[in-house]
Amino acid sequence: MVQKPWGAGSLSVPLCLLGVLFSCNLPGGFCLGDAVFSLAGISAWSAGSSGLHYPPYAAILLFVPAAVLGWRFSGHRLAGWGKWVSTLILAFLALSLLFWVL
């Protein structure tokens, strides 16, 4: 069996995982995105402690490169996984933003 080589497409997985960590609450209530926003002196929510939660949309900066690398270098190891997961997450984020705007 021929194994796929490691390469730029393989970076789609860590970028995707970092995006998930940036946008989700971990056990204990810790959210990496909230911590980064508070370090920058920015509220992570549009209305104080409610409203639109900004970190998932800021994580787009991680999901887009993950999807691009996964699709562009799909012959690399793990690129397929990163490509599909990041593309699905981007689609869900786009739909949620669309429903929030409407």
Task: Indicate the number of domains in the chain.
Answer: 1
- Assigned domain for 3 exists: no
Inter-axis angle of helices 32-39 and 12-23, nearest 10: 70
- Assigned domain for 45 exists: yes
pLDDT in tens, 21-36: 998 888 888 889 999 9
Confidence of residue 73 (pLDDT cuts 50, 70, 90): very high
Strand partners, 47: 50
Mean pLDDT, the chain, whole residue set: 90
pLDDT at 98: 87
Would you give the DSSP letter of residue 46? E
- Assigned domain for 1 exists: no
State the pTM of this model. Answer: 0.81
